Amino acid sequence: MKILFAEDAPKAIGPYSHAIRTGTLLYCSGQTPLDPASMKVEALDIEGQTKRVLDNLKLVLAEAGLTLANVVKTNVFLADMDLFQKMNAVYATYFVEHKPARSTVAVKGLPFNALVEIECIAEFNQANDSL
Protein backbone atom coordinates (compact mmCIF):
# COMPACT_ATOMS: atom_id res chain seq x y z
CA MET A 1 0.00 0.00 0.00
CA LYS A 2 1.28 3.49 -0.90
CA ILE A 3 0.01 6.80 0.49
CA LEU A 4 -0.23 9.79 -1.83
CA PHE A 5 -0.42 13.50 -1.06
CA ALA A 6 -0.74 15.85 -4.04
CA GLU A 7 1.24 19.06 -3.53
CA ASP A 8 -0.94 21.09 -5.92
CA ALA A 9 -4.31 19.91 -4.61
CA PRO A 10 -6.07 21.48 -1.62
CA LYS A 11 -4.56 20.30 1.64
CA ALA A 12 -6.47 17.56 3.44
CA ILE A 13 -8.87 19.07 5.99
CA GLY A 14 -8.68 16.05 8.26
CA PRO A 15 -6.65 12.94 9.07
CA TYR A 16 -6.75 11.33 5.64
CA SER A 17 -4.61 10.92 2.53
CA HIS A 18 -5.44 12.35 -0.88
CA ALA A 19 -5.22 8.82 -2.22
CA ILE A 20 -4.07 5.29 -1.42
CA ARG A 21 -2.68 2.87 -3.95
CA THR A 22 -3.19 -0.82 -3.39
CA GLY A 23 -2.33 -3.21 -6.20
CA THR A 24 -3.36 -1.66 -9.49
CA LEU A 25 -6.02 0.60 -7.95
CA LEU A 26 -5.85 4.16 -6.64
CA TYR A 27 -8.58 5.12 -4.17
CA CYS A 28 -8.96 8.91 -4.16
CA SER A 29 -10.53 10.66 -1.19
CA GLY A 30 -13.46 12.91 -1.89
CA GLN A 31 -12.56 16.33 -3.21
CA THR A 32 -14.60 19.40 -2.33
CA PRO A 33 -14.58 22.68 -4.27
CA LEU A 34 -11.77 24.20 -2.21
CA ASP A 35 -9.43 26.42 -4.19
CA PRO A 36 -5.91 25.02 -3.60
CA ALA A 37 -4.40 28.50 -3.13
CA SER A 38 -6.97 30.08 -0.81
CA MET A 39 -8.36 26.86 0.77
CA LYS A 40 -11.80 28.44 0.44
CA VAL A 41 -14.89 27.60 -1.59
CA GLU A 42 -14.86 30.41 -4.13
CA ALA A 43 -17.60 29.34 -6.56
CA LEU A 44 -21.12 29.74 -5.21
CA ASP A 45 -22.98 27.85 -7.95
CA ILE A 46 -23.03 24.11 -8.61
CA GLU A 47 -21.42 24.49 -12.02
CA GLY A 48 -18.37 26.31 -10.66
CA GLN A 49 -18.10 23.99 -7.69
CA THR A 50 -18.32 20.87 -9.85
CA LYS A 51 -15.58 22.21 -12.12
CA ARG A 52 -13.31 22.94 -9.12
CA VAL A 53 -13.96 19.49 -7.62
CA LEU A 54 -13.09 17.71 -10.87
CA ASP A 55 -10.02 19.91 -11.36
CA ASN A 56 -8.94 18.98 -7.82
CA LEU A 57 -9.43 15.28 -8.60
CA LYS A 58 -7.31 15.75 -11.73
CA LEU A 59 -4.52 17.18 -9.53
CA VAL A 60 -4.61 14.14 -7.25
CA LEU A 61 -4.66 11.74 -10.20
CA ALA A 62 -1.79 13.61 -11.88
CA GLU A 63 0.36 13.20 -8.76
CA ALA A 64 0.00 9.44 -9.30
CA GLY A 65 0.70 9.72 -13.04
CA LEU A 66 -2.94 9.14 -13.97
CA THR A 67 -5.71 11.08 -15.70
CA LEU A 68 -9.49 11.01 -15.69
CA ALA A 69 -9.22 8.36 -18.42
CA ASN A 70 -7.96 5.94 -15.73
CA VAL A 71 -11.03 6.43 -13.52
CA VAL A 72 -13.19 3.33 -13.20
CA LYS A 73 -15.73 4.58 -10.63
CA THR A 74 -16.85 7.87 -9.13
CA ASN A 75 -19.11 8.62 -6.20
CA VAL A 76 -20.83 12.00 -6.31
CA PHE A 77 -22.27 13.55 -3.16
CA LEU A 78 -24.72 16.42 -3.64
CA ALA A 79 -26.13 18.75 -1.01
CA ASP A 80 -29.44 18.68 -2.90
CA MET A 81 -30.62 16.32 -5.64
CA ASP A 82 -32.19 19.31 -7.42
CA LEU A 83 -28.58 20.18 -8.39
CA PHE A 84 -28.17 16.91 -10.30
CA GLN A 85 -28.82 18.15 -13.84
CA LYS A 86 -26.47 21.13 -13.58
CA MET A 87 -23.75 19.04 -11.92
CA ASN A 88 -24.23 16.35 -14.55
CA ALA A 89 -23.81 18.85 -17.41
CA VAL A 90 -20.39 19.93 -16.09
CA TYR A 91 -19.39 16.35 -15.23
CA ALA A 92 -20.15 15.31 -18.83
CA THR A 93 -17.57 17.81 -20.14
CA TYR A 94 -14.84 16.03 -18.13
CA PHE A 95 -15.89 12.50 -19.05
CA VAL A 96 -16.68 12.79 -22.76
CA GLU A 97 -15.75 9.46 -24.37
CA HIS A 98 -14.68 7.62 -21.22
CA LYS A 99 -17.63 7.23 -18.86
CA PRO A 100 -16.74 5.51 -15.58
CA ALA A 101 -19.30 3.78 -13.41
CA ARG A 102 -20.93 6.27 -11.03
CA SER A 103 -23.19 6.63 -8.04
CA THR A 104 -24.79 9.93 -7.08
CA VAL A 105 -26.45 10.50 -3.74
CA ALA A 106 -27.81 13.46 -1.80
CA VAL A 107 -26.32 14.02 1.64
CA LYS A 108 -27.37 16.15 4.57
CA GLY A 109 -24.25 18.32 4.48
CA LEU A 110 -20.72 18.64 3.13
CA PRO A 111 -17.60 20.34 4.53
CA PHE A 112 -17.57 24.14 4.16
CA ASN A 113 -21.24 23.99 3.09
CA ALA A 114 -20.10 22.79 -0.32
CA LEU A 115 -22.73 21.76 -2.85
CA VAL A 116 -20.76 18.80 -4.23
CA GLU A 117 -17.99 16.35 -3.36
CA ILE A 118 -16.62 13.65 -5.66
CA GLU A 119 -14.36 10.68 -4.92
CA CYS A 120 -13.02 8.16 -7.39
CA ILE A 121 -11.23 4.89 -7.95
CA ALA A 122 -8.69 4.79 -10.77
CA GLU A 123 -6.68 1.97 -12.30
CA PHE A 124 -3.01 1.77 -13.19
CA ASN A 125 -1.93 -0.05 -16.32
CA GLN A 126 1.56 -0.90 -17.55
CA ALA A 127 1.89 2.41 -19.42
CA ASN A 128 1.32 4.57 -16.31
CA ASP A 129 2.61 2.36 -13.53
CA SER A 130 5.30 4.63 -12.09
CA LEU A 131 4.03 5.12 -8.51
- pLDDT tens digits, 30-56: 999 999 999 999 999 999 999 999 999
Q: How many CA atoms lie within 13 A of 42 on its CB side?
A: 10
Q: Which fold has domain 2-128?
A: 60s Ribosomal Protein L30; Chain: A; (3.30.1330)
What is the average pLDDT value for the chain, to the nearest integer?
95
pLDDT of residue 64: 96
pLDDT of 131 > 60? The answer is no
Query: Could you give phi then psi for residue 113, rounded to 5 degrees?
Result: 55, 30
Of 66, 54, 53, 57, the closest CA to residue 28 belongs to: 57
pLDDT of 61 > 80? The answer is yes
Q: SS3 sequence, the chain? A: CEEECCCCCCCCCCCCCCEEEECCEEEEEEECCECCCCCCECCCCHHHHHHHHHHHHHHHHHHCCCCHHHEEEEEEEECCHHHHHHHHHHHHHHCCCCCCEEEEEECCCCHHHCCEEEEEEEECCHHHCCC
Q: What is the mean pLDDT of residues 107-114?
A: 96
pLDDT of residue 130: 60
Q: What percent of the chain has pLDDT over 70?
A: 95
- pLDDT tens digits, 62-96: 999 999 999 999 999 999 999 999 999 999 999 99
- β pairing state of 25-31 and 116-123: antiparallel
- Determine the Cα–Cα distance for residues 11 and 7; give it in Å rounded to an integer: 8
pLDDT of residue 125: 84
pLDDT of residue 129: 60
What residues does each domain of the chain span? 2-128
